[in-house]
Amino acid sequence: MNLDWDRLGPLLWQAGGETAYMVLITLVVGGFLGLLLGLGLYLTRPGNLLQNRAVFAVLNVAINVVRPVPFLIFLVALGPLTRAVVGRTIGIEAFTFAMCFMATFVFARLVEQNLVSIDPGVVEAARAMGASPLRIVRTVLVPEALAPLILGYTFLFVGVLDMSAIAGYLGAGGLGDFAIVHGYRQYDWAVTFVVVVIIVAVVQVVQLLGNYLARRALHR
């Protein structure tokens, strides 16, 4: 173990920043769009507030098509769209765009699954009090499913971190790239190990925070 921290330290710091950039933007954009898409999926489901068989079918199929594609392949396959939107197909911005795209679809399914478990009686009660669908989304669906939504969001964080490593390896930089370039390729297991420890620690902290917030949201 001869870690050259004078050399690696600043590089690791930069890699951490790149990862944070990708993950945070993806969590914000993907989380927001995923919430909307998941709500759309739930609301248009037959028997629900804005039931619409056609819209539900389109959303449902779209999610089922996107979600199972391995992210490495998705990243490459999304190239043309990425170019159209971001202007290029590689680099941290381009890959972050692809991550937001995937995260939206992943989170949409998580959101829908959590909303389905809400007691329909509560929604009916709100309808009986004259609440509009938009109000019901805001004051019933999201607050009632808040705890599982927080846990789902925490779960999404780990998935996004995983995506960021793949994106990083393809040229976006970040911790994953750092572990490969400065650790794996140099046969320097210590560097790889340090990165793994950092990632595990971050995930642990985020998970603890998620659990804490979810428990508070449950009012237990």
Partner 1 sequence: MSQPIISFRDASKIFPGRGRRAEVRAVDGVTLDVAEGEIFGVIGYSGAGKSTLVRLVNALEKVTGGSVVVDGTDLTGLSEARLRGVRAGIGMIFQQFNLLSSRTVAGNVAYPLEVAGWSREKRRERVRELLDFVGIADKADVHPRQLSGGQKQRVGIARALATNPRILLADEATSALDPETTQDVLALLRRVNRELGITVVVITHEMDVVRAICDRVAVMEHGKVVELGDAYQVFSAPQHDVTRRFVSTALKDRPSPEVLARLRERHPGRIVTVGVDEVAGSSALITRTLREHGVDGTVVYGGITEVAERPYGSLTLELVAASPGVRPLPDGVAPADGVDAAVAALRRVTDVVDLGTAADPHEDPSVVRRGVGQAPDDGPGGEERRARVIGGPARQVGGGPFGGPSGMTGGNDLTTGIIDDGGKR
Does the protein bind partner 1 through residue 213 (CB under 8 A)? no
Other beta carbons less than 10 A from residue 30's beta carbon: 27
Which residue, 88 or 135, has its beta carbon nearer to partner 1? 135
Round to whole Å and give the CA distance between 43 and 111: 12
**Half-sphere exposure at residue 27, Cβ-oriented, CA atoms within 13 angstroms:** 20
Angle CA 27–30–34, to nearest 5: 125
x/- letters, 67..96, toward partner 1 (CB under 8 A): ------------------------------
Does the protein bind partner 1 through residue 53 (CB under 8 A)? no
Q: Which residue intervals of the chain are DSSP H helices?
A: 5-44, 53-66, 71-77, 79-86, 92-116, 120-128, 133-136, 142-144, 146-167, 175-178, 189-218
Q: Which of residues 123-162 bind partner 1 (CB under 8 A)?
A: 124-132, 135, 139-140, 143-144, 146
Which residue, 115 or 160, has its beta carbon nearer to partner 1? 115
Other beta carbons less than 10 A from residue 218's beta carbon: 11
Determine the straight-line distance between the first and last CA of the chain, rounded to whole angstroms.
Answer: 48
Does the protein bind partner 1 through residue 51 (CB under 8 A)? no
Does the protein bind partner 1 through residue 215 (CB under 8 A)? no
x/- letters, 95..124, toward partner 1 (CB under 8 A): ------------------------x-xx-x
Which residue, 90 or 217, has its beta carbon nearer to partner 1? 217
Round to whole Å and give the CA distance between 120 and 116: 9
Which residue, 94 or 151, has its beta carbon nearer to partner 1? 151
Q: Which of residues 164-193 bind partner 1 (CB under 8 A)?
A: none
Which residue, 55 or 131, has its beta carbon nearer to partner 1? 131
Identify the CA nearest to 19 among candidates 157, 208, 184, 212: 157
Does the protein bind partner 1 through residue 54 (CB under 8 A)? no
Number of residues binding to partner 1, judged by CB under 8 A: 21
Which residues of this chain interact with partner 1, rule CB under 8 A? 119, 121-122, 124-132, 135, 139-140, 143-144, 146, 217, 219-220
